[in-house]
Each structure stands twice: as C-alpha cells, then as structure tokens.
Structure 1
Amino acid sequence: MAPRVLISDKLSTAAVQIFKDRGIEVDYEPDLGADKEAFAARIGDYDGLAVRSASKVTEKVIAGADKLKVIGRAGIGVDNIDVPAATKRGVIVMNTPFGNSITTAEHAIALMLSLARQIPAADVSTQAGKWEKNRFMGVEVTAKVLGVIGCGNIGSIAADRAQGLRMKVIAYDPFLSEERATDLGVEKVDLDELLRRADFITLHVPLTDKTRNILSREALAKTKKGVRIVNCARGGLVDEEALREALDSGHVAGAAFDVFAVEPAKENVLFGAPNVICTPHLGAATTEAQENVALQVAEQMSDYLLTGAVTNALNMPSISAEEAPRLKPFVSLAEQLGSFAGQLTETGIKGLRLEYAGDVAEMNTKALSSAAIAGVLRPLLEDVNMVSAPAVARERGIQIEEVRREQQGAYENYVRLTVQTERQERSVAGTVFSDGRPRLIQIKGINMEAELAPHMLYITNEDTPGFIGALGMVLGNSGVNIATFNLGRQTRGGDAIALVEIDEPLASDVLEAVEKLPHVKQAKALAF
C-alpha cells in the first residue's frame, strides 16, 4: 500500500506534485491545521505530515497518530511541533534549515535601510498629503558599523550584503573561528565590544536559554547612544520593555522587529514607539523561499517513506535501516560525549577531533561524528540537528578531524572527542558496554567510569582530604539528593574530577555555594 501524507498548512502546489510523482498519496488540506479538534481526529490516517507554522503538532495530536512515521516542517523553526513527544513515539521530525536563509537576511537588510531613512513613516506622512521633508532626517549606512549577533548561515549572508553597502561589519558568535571571520571579511569581537561600537545591530541567533534576552536591560545600557536594532530572528532575544524605555529616552534611535516575544503580536509594548518598524514575521515570506522549503520537505519526506533515507532530522541521524540496530547505542554515546563537551565549552571552538578505536572504527562513523558535533553545538544552537551539524560547523570554520584505529587499551571499542578552543584542548571518551548503555571512561585524561543522567553536577578540584565531605554537606543542606557519585584524579593531590548525578535540576544559588568551596576550580550543572 502506498504511503499517505497529509499537508495541513498552505504549501506550494509544487510540493503536492512531488509526492504524487513519487507514488505517494497526498491530501492537501491547508486549513485543517487551524482546527485543533479536526486535525487531531484526522492525523491517525497518515504515514507523513507536512506543515508550516500554523499547524500545532502537540502531544495530543501525536498521541492519536498511530501510523505516523515522519513530520516535515517546511522551514527551520519547530516551535509548533512537540519534538520530544514525537521522538517518544518514534516519529522522525525533519526541517529544511537552509531554505529561507537568503530571504531572511534580505529582510534584515531591508529593515535596516528602512530604519536608517524612516521610510515607513515618511510614506504614511506623504500619502496623507503632508510634505514633511525636514521631519524625516535619516542617516547613511555607508562607513557605519554593523554588529551581527550570530554569524551562522543567515548572519553571514547579512554580513556579506552589508559589506556590499560599504559597512564595517563586526560579529559576536562563540562558534565563529578567527579563520572563518577572516574569510567572511568580518571582525570577531566579544559581545560587550559589539555593543560599545555598533551603529546598527542585527540579531541572527536561535532562542535558547543562553540567548534569551541577549539584549537585556544591562546590555542595552552598554550600547552606543543612537544605535538602531534589527531583529528578524526570534522573539525573546531582546527585552522589549527595556527597549521601549531606551527608545523613549532617545538612547536607542530606532528599532525594526519582525519577531516578537508573543505572536501573533496583536499588541506589544514597542507599538507606537518613536522610529519603530514592525512586520508580521515576514522573514521567510518570499515566493522563492516558500517554494524552496516546500520542495525540500516533500523530497525529504518522500525519500524517507519510500527508501528509509533520513535527511535534516532533528531527532535521528542520517543512517540506513540496516545500520540502525548496531549503530544506535554508539550514536547515543557520540551525542552524549558531544553534549558533555559542549556544555563545558565557553570559548570559541577551533576544531573537533573524533577518535574511533576497535570495531566502532569500521562502522558508519559519519553518522556518529554528526551526532557528536550536534551534541557539541546544541547548547547554543538548539535548531541544529545531526544532519545539518557538519555544515553548521563548517560555516563557523570549525575543523573536523576523524581518526580510526585498531583496539587499544582495556576496552574493545571506544570513542574519544577532543574539543580544541582558542585557549585549550579538552577530551572526553566513552564506550558502550554489553548492556547497550553508553558510559564515560575518561575525562581530560582522568580515568573514570560513569553513566550520564538527566541532571548532573560536574566539578574539577584539587585532590584534598575533606573535599567530598564538604561537597556532600552543601548539597545535603540544600536538599539536593545524590543518586550516584563518580570520582577520578590524575595523581594524589593533583587535579580531580567529580561527576554527581542528582535527582532534580541544580538551583543557581546551590551551584554558587559549590563554586565557593575551597579547592574548586570549576563547577557546572549539566543536563542530558
């Protein structure tokens, strides 16, 4: 029986034709996704679901999707899809991460120019029969400094277009290497320097815990007086209340927003502020972009439903059905090693080295490396997936090296990941035991056997008597229950590591108390 696909949002008819040409039955019902009850009632009949942003693919919808194998999002953001619920049900979630990059970058540049010359307000005034030539005094962008926050796929295109306008471009991006910055013709700076120097600021980062309110009240206070801010990325990156105050005071000369903390934005604190331009999330709204992402998602879904090939999946690497059973535990290991290293990395990454020893060296290491790279990048780039991760790393000039070798040491198989930053190298190694569960076996050259858990505390310290007791007292007095406690050290009295599994996420004040303990060099709360 031919697979069946439901398209529940407005999608290019060319996508419908691709499904049909590949022998897949397709129902195009572009208004169904807006009707929650009808949508949930119908989804159980289909193997595939293609959506844009209007369809809310909630846990309830997925729970009733007994046949569903794949969800395809025509676009990059999957805020409208419950990815954990899909994963739990074994449903692959795909997106099209690069289909609308040019369109979004162009919209940011268009808003910047409109802001510089107050074009929307001048248009309204002129069409109202006024001739307020002196009211709309603008500024040139030539020779001005554009600060790009996030220099990935979209940010690098915006930087290129700005250079065509003869702007000086500076960029803040923890994953941007000096070599990649040189290739792009931008100057890599830290966030404070960008805020201090930029005449215009444009944001091109995803919304994560680390980027939420990246332009906070404190950050806005550090900006140059008269700065103009453009956000075509995600709502929530800028403290809208603080920005309104800065606009009213004149410290910020103007702002152009395509995205808002709450959407649809029927009302917002920025509305009505002086020299503010607002558009209704139009970043990807061009004929070309809509066509590109629709064609991509139709091809990707068809490939998976007909051949099992996986492309641009957020919750599964690119591996064949034959490889899956053998690779699955090692994919999990690689992703855990990457996540562990990524959460501990705070400076720009120059390179990643992946070392495969034993039988694992004969496997599909490309999939394993993709999983590890995604794990490293995901703490700052939540939209990255196991397929797009290598391309994202390349865009940021991160060098990827794979080393395969025969069995060495006590373990039949192991994977070692080394992260090379501007300051140091840090490595972590792991293996898969006979129970099929991944284990860490070495951290920064210190041998240790540990299984990763949802909530963990990682500590590096000097090996001194009484430290473990002091740590236990801090956690105990704070009501933190220890599930497992793993220790390792280089030499007596030398560097030591503690990896503690705890039952709940660690509160910030408890982490601060741990950091203040004597002999602690670093303490981090980790989540897996």
Structure 2
Amino acid sequence: MAPKVLVSDKLSETAVQIFRDRGIDVTFDPSIGKDKEKLAQIIGDYDGLAIRSATKVTAKLLDNAPRLKVVGRAGIGVDNVDIPAASKKGVIVMNTPFGNSVTTAEHAIALMMAVARQIPEANASTHAGKWEKSRFMGSEVTAKTLGVIGAGNIGAIVCDRALGLRMKVIAYDPFLSEERATKLGVTKVELDELLARADFITLHVPLTDKTRNILSAEAIAKTRPGVRIINCARGGLVDETALAAALKSGHVAGAGFDVFEVEPATDSPLFGLPNVVVTPHLGASTTEAQENVALQVAEQMSDYLLTGAVQNALNMPSVTAEEAAVMAPWVKLAAHLGSFAGQLTEDPIRAVNILYDGAVAEMNLDALNCAVIAGIMKASNPDVNMVSAPVVARERGVKISTTTQGKSGVFDAYIKLTVVTEDRERSIAGTVFSDGKPRFIQIKGITIDAEVGQHMLYTTNEDVPGIIGTLGQTMGENGVNIANFTLGRSSRGAEAIALLYLDAQPPADVLAKLKATGLFRQVRPLEFDMA
C-alpha cells in the first residue's frame, strides 16, 4: 500500500506533484492546518504531514497520529512543531534549512542598506510631495565593520555579500573554526569584541536558552555609539524594549527588524520609531525560496517514506539514499543484536557499549547506534523505534559508548554489543554475510554461526552429553520444527549454549518440560522482527 501524505498548508502544486510522481497517495488541503479539530480527526490516516508555519504539530495532535512517521516543514523554523513529543512518538521531524538561505541573507543585506540610507522614510516623504534632501543624510557601508553573530549557513552568505560590498567582516560563533573563518574571509572574535568594534551588527543564530536576549540591555550598552542592528533570524534574540531605549537616546543609530518576539507582531516598542525599518517576517518570502523549500520537503519526505533515506532531520541522524541501501542489512543486524540483549536482560540497563570492527566502522554510526538502542528498548516498549529509542534511553539514564577499530579477525566487519547492568555484562556479536543476511557469530565470548529467524530458542547449560538429543526429541514430540540448530561452548566441559531457529515458538508447557530435565540453566524463547 502506498504511503499517505497530508499537505495541510500552502505548498506549490509542483511540490504536490512530486509526491504523486513518486507514487505517494497525497491529500492537498491547505486550509486544514488552521482547523485543529478537523486536523486531529483525520491525521490518524496519514504516514506523513507536510507543513509550513500555520499547522501546529502539538503533543495532542501526535496522540491522534498512530501511523505518522514523518513531519516535513517547508522552511527552517520549526517553532510550530513539538519536537520532543514527536521524538517520543518516533516521528521524524525534517526541515529545509538551505532552500531559503540566500533569500534570508539578501533580506538582511537589504535591511542594512535601507537603514543606512533611511530609504523607507525618504520614500514616504517623497511620495508625500516633499523634497527633503538634506533631512535624509545616510551612511556608506563601504569600509565599515559588519559584526555577524552566527556564521552558519545564512550567516556565511551574509559574510560573502558584505565582503562584496567592501565591508570589513568580523564574526562571533562558538562553532566557527579559525580555518573556516579564514576560508570565509572574516575575522573570528568574541562577542564583547564584536560589540565594541562593529558599525553594523546582524544576527543569524537560532533562538535557544543560550541565545535568547543575546543582545540584552547590557550587551547593547557595550556597542559602539552609532551602531545599526539588523535581525532577520528569530524574535527574542534582541531585547526590543532595551533597543528602543537605545534608539531613542541615539546610542543606536538605526535598526532593521524582520522578526519579533511575539508574532504576528501588532505592537512592539520598535514600532513608530523613525530610525527603524520593520518588515513582517519576509526573510524567506521570495517566489524562488518558497518554491525551493516546497520542492525540497516533498523530495525529502518521499525519499524517507519510500527508501528510508533521512535528510535534514532534527531528531534523527541523516542517512542518504545510497547509505540506506548499503547499510540496510547492517541496520537490521544492529536491531537484532539489540533485540537479543534486550530480551535477555531483565535488570535495569546502566550502559550500552557498541564496538564496530572493520568496514562497518566507516558507515553512519549514529544511525547504527539508533538501531541498536531501538532493538534493546523494544523488549520493554514495543512502540519504540529508531527515533524515539535514544530519548527513552536518556530518560532511563543509560550511558551509550561507541568504539571503532580496523579489521581484527576473520570477518571483514562485525558489530559487538555489550549491555551492562548492576550485576553483569552480556555481550553478543554479529556480522552480515555476502548474501546480505545477518548472522550471530559470538554470544558471551562463545563462537557460533547462527542464522537469525523470527522464532528462536536460546539455552545455556553445562557441556555434557545428551543436550542435542533432549532438545531435538522435545521439539519433535511437540510438533515444533527446527529450521537451524547452532551449538557452542567456551571449552570442553565448561559452559555451552544452543540457539535454535524454529518454524514456530514452542508453547509454555514445552519450555517447562525442558526446564524440568535439570539440564539447562536458561531456556529463553526469542522473537525477532524480520520485516
């Protein structure tokens, strides 16, 4: 059955057609995003939800969406999506961070020029029939210092455009390396230095607890007199009341704002000030940008629903379509290893250690880690998936560590999982054979070669004669067919294990008969998801 996607906000017809062309059953209803009740009534029928900013994806809405796998936001901001709630539900949240980057950067430059030359005020005056040439004395940007707060994707484009205007550019960004700064042609500085040196300041960072009011009253007081401040990023980065006071006092010469702490902004301390240029969140509002982000989100959602490729997800490691194809058997193996450990571990898990050996160590380990953790957590919570499992693990205080190493044994690659509880460690290793099928190759340090099946039986015992016969006879007498039988032991007369691949899981009374023989320390039925 084809995946079903609901487009609940305005998206271009070309983007909607992408879903259709890819074989996805798409419903285009751009008005429903504003109708919370109706959206909640129908969302349960869909695997994907494509939105802009009107649709609010809340925890309550997600409770009504048992089938939902992915939410795609055409644009950068995801303030209208409850990402923690989506993660707990196992729903991937994607955005399109690059589709409107140029447009937003250009708007920042446009606001800077408009503020520097007082264009809106001069325009209004001239339309009014006045000719106030001497009133609107502007300021050149050439040779001035632009301070860029946040040199990520959009900030980097602003830096490039400013350098083209022959400005001196300094940047504050904790994640900006000296090498990257050199490549951009900017000087990396600390925030206080930027405030003290910049003639113009432009912000290009997300709104987080660390960046909220990054330009506070205290920070604004540190700026050089006559500075001009531009914000096309997020409302809340600048203390609007403090900025208004600084504009009125003349310490700040002008400001250009496209975003506000409360939107839609019908009132702000900045409104009505003659040295302020304001626009209604137009950073991404160009025909090209709107088309780009719509096309991107349609392609991304289609790729995920059809091939498992993950791009620009905010709560899941990205996996390209090429990676997804190559990694598919390894992801399945990782899930099986986690499932084995999870089904056998009854005590609270304190730590999970994952070793990647050989070729698999070069793959997307974040995605493989998610598969391992999901396998473990499914034993106690069947609704967990690769998105929600890391959240569940963190909530339970499970420490996850990853180690990689070059090829060290007879296999070109393998994964070894060790689960640590208060009293013990349990380990299992596996590989993928040339036929693409996962195999268990080691349990508790005992070498084996076991094909993975949906129904399996795991036993441990002392290495004594009669184990094979007892298992075979008991299964046979009760009509349980053995598809594959694997044995292993640590040494002669020491601990031994058996792993049986069965056509059906034996009933409880059959397991009881095995335990009653006194030959087995453990008799554990196991189930694996082979889908």
Question: TM-score when scaled to structure 1?
Answer: 0.65
CA distance in 2, matches of 1:329, 1:314: 26
Q: Equivalent residue for 1:305?
A: 305
User: 1:228 is matched by which residue type in structure 2?
Assistant: R
Q: Equivalent residue for 2:26?
A: 26
Q: Contact (CA 8 Å) 2:51, 2:74: kept in 1 or not?
A: yes
CA distance in 1, matches of 2:242, 2:335: 47
Over 3 Å counting, the alpha-carbon distance change for 1:120 and 1:80 in structure 2 is same
Q: Equivalent residue for 1:98?
A: 98
Q: How far off its partner does 1:81 sit?
A: 0.7
Q: How far off its partner does 1:432 sit?
A: 4.8
Q: Equivalent residue for 1:404?
A: 405
Over 3 Å counting, the alpha-carbon distance change for 1:371 and 1:256 in structure 2 is farther
Q: Equivalent residue for 1:217?
A: 217
Deviations 1:194-222 (A, max 9, x none): 10010000001111111111111111000
Q: Contact (CA 8 Å) 1:357, 1:406: kept in 2 or not?
A: no
Deviations 1:65-98 (A, max 9, x none): 1221111111111110111111111111111111
Q: Contact (CA 8 Å) 1:76, 1:96: kept in 2 or not?
A: yes
Equivalent residue pairs, number: 366
CA distance in 2, matches of 1:249, 1:120: 21
The SS at the match of 2:364 is helix
Percent identity between the two aligned chains: 68
Q: Equivalent residue for 2:153?
A: 153
Pairs within 5 Å for 1:105-254:
105-254=105-254
Q: CA RMSD in A?
A: 2.8
CA distance in 2, matches of 1:242, 1:111: 20
Q: How far off its partner does 1:51 sit?
A: 0.3
Q: How far off its partner does 1:406 sit?
A: 5.7
Q: Equivalent residue for 1:523?
A: none
The SS at the match of 2:261 is coil
CA distance in 2, matches of 1:171, 1:102: 18
The SS at the match of 2:61 is helix
CA distance in 1, matches of 2:241, 2:335: 46
Q: Contact (CA 8 Å) 2:359, 2:407: kept in 1 or not?
A: no
Q: Equivalent residue for 2:9?
A: 9
Deviations 1:30-57 (A, max 9, x none): 1111111112112112111100111111
Over 3 Å counting, the alpha-carbon distance change for 1:269 and 1:330 in structure 2 is farther
Q: Contact (CA 8 Å) 1:114, 1:120: kept in 2 or not?
A: yes
CA distance in 1, matches of 2:131, 2:177: 49
Q: Equivalent residue for 1:53?
A: 53
Deviations 1:330-389 (A, max 9, x none): 99xxxxxxxxxxxxxxxxxxxxxxxx99445543654226899xxxxxxxxxxxxx9xxx
Q: Contact (CA 8 Å) 1:357, 1:407: kept in 2 or not?
A: no
Deviations 1:447-480 (A, max 9, x none): xxxxxxxxxxxxxxxxxxxxxxxxxxxxxxxxxx
CA distance in 2, matches of 1:74, 1:435: 43
Q: Contact (CA 8 Å) 2:270, 2:276: kept in 1 or not?
A: yes
CA distance in 2, matches of 1:37, 1:328: 37
Q: Equivalent residue for 2:515?
A: none
Deviations 1:4-28 (A, max 9, x none): 1111111111111101111111111
Q: How far off its partner does 1:323 sit?
A: 3.9
Q: Equivalent residue for 2:525?
A: none
Q: Equivalent residue for 2:475?
A: none
94-103 vs 244-253, which deviates more? 94-103
361-370 vs 187-196, which deviates more? 361-370
CA distance in 2, matches of 1:9, 1:435: 48
Pairs within 5 Å for 1:31-42:
31-42=31-42
CA distance in 2, matches of 1:98, 1:195: 28
User: 2:132 is matched by which residue type in structure 1?
Assistant: E
Q: How far off its partner does 1:405 sit?
A: 3.2
Find 1:367's aligned residue among 359, 364, 367. Answer: 364
Q: Equivalent residue for 2:419?
A: 433
Q: Contact (CA 8 Å) 2:258, 2:281: kept in 1 or not?
A: yes
Q: Contact (CA 8 Å) 1:357, 1:404: kept in 2 or not?
A: no
User: 2:419 is matched by which residue type in structure 1?
Assistant: F
CA distance in 2, matches of 1:296, 1:371: 25
CA distance in 2, matches of 1:139, 1:318: 45
Gaps of 5+ in 2: 339-352, 370-386, 388-402, 426-531
- Structure index of larger Rg: 2
Q: Contact (CA 8 Å) 1:244, 1:269: kept in 2 or not?
A: yes
Q: Equivalent residue for 1:83?
A: 83
Q: How far off its partner does 1:170 sit?
A: 0.6
Q: How far off its partner does 1:227 sit?
A: 0.2
CA distance in 2, matches of 1:29, 1:237: 34
User: 1:268 is matched by which residue type in structure 2?
Assistant: S
CA distance in 2, matches of 1:250, 1:18: 52
Q: Equivalent residue for 1:424?
A: none
Q: Contact (CA 8 Å) 2:334, 2:415: kept in 1 or not?
A: no
User: 1:4 is matched by which residue type in structure 2?
Assistant: K
Q: Contact (CA 8 Å) 1:94, 1:311: kept in 2 or not?
A: yes
User: 2:405 is matched by which residue type in structure 1?
Assistant: R
Q: Contact (CA 8 Å) 1:118, 1:275: kept in 2 or not?
A: yes
The SS at the match of 1:363 is helix
Deviations 1:151-209 (A, max 9, x none): 11110100110111111101111111111111111111111111001000000111111
Over 3 Å counting, the alpha-carbon distance change for 1:159 and 1:58 in structure 2 is same
Over 3 Å counting, the alpha-carbon distance change for 1:14 and 1:271 in structure 2 is same
User: 1:405 is matched by which residue type in structure 2?
Assistant: G
Q: Contact (CA 8 Å) 2:121, 2:274: kept in 1 or not?
A: no
Q: Contact (CA 8 Å) 2:356, 2:405: kept in 1 or not?
A: no
Q: How far off its partner does 1:252 sit?
A: 0.3
CA distance in 1, matches of 2:356, 2:404: 13
Q: Contact (CA 8 Å) 2:356, 2:404: kept in 1 or not?
A: no
User: 1:15 is matched by which residue type in structure 2?
Assistant: A
CA distance in 2, matches of 1:414, 1:173: 37
After TM superposition, the runs of 4+ consecutive aligned structure 1 residues lying more than 6 A away are: 328-331
CA distance in 2, matches of 1:208, 1:199: 26
The SS at the match of 1:433 is strand
Over 3 Å counting, the alpha-carbon distance change for 1:135 and 1:9 in structure 2 is same
User: 2:64 is matched by which residue type in structure 1?
Assistant: G
